[in-house]
Amino acid sequence: VPLMGERPPLRLPPVTRLIPASLVWAVTWIAMIGLDHRVDLANLAMLLVLASAIATLWLPIGASLLCTALSVLAFNWLFVPPRHAFSVDLRQDALLLGAMLAVSWIVAAVVARQRVLAESARRHAQRAEQLRGLGEALRDADDAAQSSLVLRTVLAELLGVPPKMLLLRDTLPPDDDAAATVLIGEPTPHELTGMWHCVRQARPFGPGTGHHAELQEWYLPLRARHAAFGAVSVALDSDPPDDTLRLQAQALCDQLGTFLQRTQTQRAAHAARDHAQAQGIRNALLAAISHDYRTPLAAIMGAASSLCEQGDRLATGQRQRLAQSIVDQTMQLSRLTENTLQLARLDGSGVQLRLDWESAEEIVGTALRHARSRDSQRRVRARLEPAVPLVRCDALLLSQLLDNLVDNALKYSAAPTPVELLVRRQSGCVVFAVRDRGPGVEPAWRERIFEVYQRGEHRAHDSDGSGALARRGAGVGLAVCRAIARAHGGELKLRVRAHGGASFECWLPEAVPPSVEPDEGRPGTA
């Protein structure tokens, strides 16, 4: 990050500064001696005043005043009659010499003053630029460690030595616990104590601060509005420390303090939001589990207890029906459990898919075989577009996805209408679509239906045709379908069909399967 550091003023070093000044004086004296007797005294005097003004640009004020005074004396000695004597005609030349000296001194003083002001303005601008640069660098910084290194670089440029730093990882610990901090620059135990003190008091220590002026270091807190988030320690050399430098360093430190406070606040907000979200999901999950699991459990409990307690009084047909109900409900519970577990697995990070080259025909065939065992009226039909390529996927997961979609379609469409399982190629994807002629999905629910444990309010076509208010959506079922599609780099979409009904479509990106060596030789059978 490019930063504006405190540069040394653009002045020449003292010795080299003398060169242009001496040159000016030398040229002036040569000119004056050369012009002697050709022009009158007042003109020569003007040359001297001019030289004095120009030389002042390079010389410090004291030297400038001294040079001018000596020059006036020499002028008097060489040019003012009586020559080669310091005596002066009081009526004629005293005024000239006096005015010369006064004008030169005033010019020198004004120029010097101007130079100091310009220098100070430049330093102010540079420090303001430094603050702005740090602010910008902090905006780009990702974390506390990076931002503190940025500050360290800036302070090193400002003060000439890189400071030692102590940063709190989180809130201030009750005792000076090193584990709660990040230390930069290997501070000595003495400096560490000083920095802890500085953090706890949230105020600077050291020469010029009004506290512990005897110290050989400055301790500057990284302050935010209410507290310090760390401290820096700056070793001082023997020079009397510059207060403006310390104030600038403190301003830079405070900027980092504010940044650290902001990141801490953001962290806390994130944590709170994540917590609330996790809480929300857990509550929805528990609510759905209590609903989805209780229904089949109640049916199983009823049938089993009836068999247990009244078994000998029931007719064979009744017993058979109860037993069948237990088998059916158990299968449903089993599927529900499988879906819930799968969803938890896919939600977790680092899920490992068992990817292989799978045939769409086989996956559809498996789904159809599973559906047949549950769909006594054989409403499910399948159709594959010719030449669908092999799909790179986890066959078990994709079977589970299609099983869920077919289950859902059977559940929400009336008995005589068919449920279709179609496979087609479209825009670089292989699309597995499960279509029904049920009531469809309300617009407001078309996206939410995929969220975990969301259910749409709908009149379902129950097998008895009562059309009682039921809820569209398989709860965990569609959520796990979408999770499976996404785990494959695909998507699960809901399309509304033109003449009623819904089409749930799993889009999986096409891939190029490896080639197969052609079958050689003669046929195996005649």
Partner 1 sequence: MSLAVLLVEDDRELRTMLRDALVVEGFEVFTAVSLSEGLALLGGLADRAGQRGPGIDLVLLDLGLPDGDGEALLAALRKRHSIPLIVISARDSDGEKIRLLDSGADDYLVKPFGIGELLARMRVSLRHRGTRLAPAVTRYEHGALSIDLASHAVRLAGTAVHLTPTEYKLLARLVRNAGQVVTHRQLLADVWGANYTEHTHYLRLYMGQLRAKLEADSTDPQRLLTEPGVGYRLAEASD
> Long-range CB contacts (< 8 A, 24+ apart) of 24-32?
24/51, 24/54, 24/55, 25/51, 25/55, 25/67, 25/71, 27/51, 32/75, 32/79
Q: Binders of partner 1 among 292-331, rule CB under 8 A?
A: 327, 330-331
Binds partner 1 (CB under 8 A): choice among 3, 131, 396, 511: 396
8 A C-beta contact, residue 108 and residue 68: yes
**C-alpha span between 165 and 234 (Å, rounded):** 9
**C-alpha span between 366 and 250 (Å, rounded):** 72
Stretch that binds partner 1, among 137-145, 383-391, 410-418, 457-465 (CB under 8 A): 383-391
Stretch that binds partner 1, among 13-21, 42-50, 439-447, 511-519 (CB under 8 A): 511-519
Q: Binders of partner 1: how many residues, by CB under 8 A?
A: 39
137 backbone φψ class: left, alpha, beta (φ>0; ψ -120 to 50): alpha
Instruction: Provide the minimum distance between the beta carbon of 308 and partner 1 in the complex, in angstroms, as a whole number.
Output: 15
Stretch that binds partner 1, among 184-192, 198-206, 395-403, 451-459 (CB under 8 A): 395-403
Stretch that binds partner 1, among 184-192, 257-265, 491-499, 508-516 (CB under 8 A): 508-516
Beta strand 456-459 pairing with 419-426: unpaired
Alpha helices in 202-242 (DSSP H): none
To 5 degrees, how large is the angle CA 291–CA 296–CA 299?
125
Window 331-370: contact mask with partner 1 (x via CB under 8 A) = x--x---x--x------------x-xxxx-xxxxxx-xx-
Look-up: residue for tokens 């601008």?
125
Instruction: Provide the minimum distance between the beta carbon of 503 and partner 1 in the complex, in angstroms, as a whole number.
Output: 18
- Indicate the residue type of 341: L
**C-alpha span between 89 and 98 (Å, rounded):** 12
Instruction: Provide the minimum distance between the beta carbon of 285 and partner 1 in the complex, in angstroms, as a whole number.
Output: 20
Closest to partner 1 by CB, 499 or 522: 522
Largest Cα–Cα separation, the chain:
155
**C-alpha span between 366 and 375 (Å, rounded):** 14
Instruction: Provide the minimum distance between the beta carbon of 287 and partner 1 in the complex, in angstroms, as a whole number.
Output: 25
Closest to partner 1 by CB, 82 or 523: 523
Window 410-449: contact mask with partner 1 (x via CB under 8 A) = ----------------------------------------
Instruction: Provide the minimum distance between the beta carbon of 509 and partner 1 in the complex, in angstroms, as a whole number.
Output: 17
Beta-ladder partners of 420: 381, 435
Angle between helix 144-159 and helix 243-310 axes, rounded to 10 deg:
170
Binds partner 1 (CB under 8 A): choice among 209, 399, 413, 503: 399
Can you give the length of the chain in residues?
526
8 A C-beta contact, residue 439 and residue 458: yes
Residue 399's alpha-carbon distances to 361, 375, 395, in angstroms, are: 12, 17, 6
Closest to partner 1 by CB, 294 or 381: 381
Instruction: Provide the minimum distance between the beta carbon of 326 and partner 1 in the complex, in angstroms, as a whole number.
Output: 11
Window 165-204: contact mask with partner 1 (x via CB under 8 A) = ----------------------------------------
Stretch that binds partner 1, among 99-107, 180-188, 391-399, 438-446 (CB under 8 A): 391-399
Q: Is residue 13 classed as helix, strand or coil in its secondary structure?
A: coil
C-alpha 314: how far from its chain's center?
69
Asked if 77 interacts with partner 1 (CB under 8 A), we say no
Instruction: Provide the minimum distance between the beta carbon of 378 and partner 1 in the complex, in angstroms, as a whole number.
Output: 10
Stretch that binds partner 1, among 82-90, 165-173, 231-239, 512-520 (CB under 8 A): 512-520
Instruction: Provide the minimum distance between the beta carbon of 166 and partner 1 in the complex, in angstroms, as a whole number.
Output: 49
Asked if 9 interacts with partner 1 (CB under 8 A), we say no
Closest to partner 1 by CB, 355 or 470: 355
Closest to partner 1 by CB, 464 or 519: 519
Asked if 395 interacts with partner 1 (CB under 8 A), we say yes
Closest to partner 1 by CB, 226 or 354: 354
**C-alpha span between 109 and 385 (Å, rounded):** 97
8 A C-beta contact, residue 72 and residue 104: yes
Stretch that binds partner 1, among 142-150, 250-258, 455-463, 516-524 (CB under 8 A): 516-524
Residue-wise over 444-472: b if at least 16 C-beta within 10 A, else e?
Answer: ebbeebbebbbbbebebbeeeeeeeebeb
8 A C-beta contact, residue 421 and residue 488: no
Look-up: residue for tokens 């400038």?
64
Binding residues (CB under 8 A) for partner 1: these are 327, 330-331, 334, 338, 341, 354, 356-359, 361-366, 368-369, 382-384, 390, 394-396, 398-399, 513-514, 516, 519-526
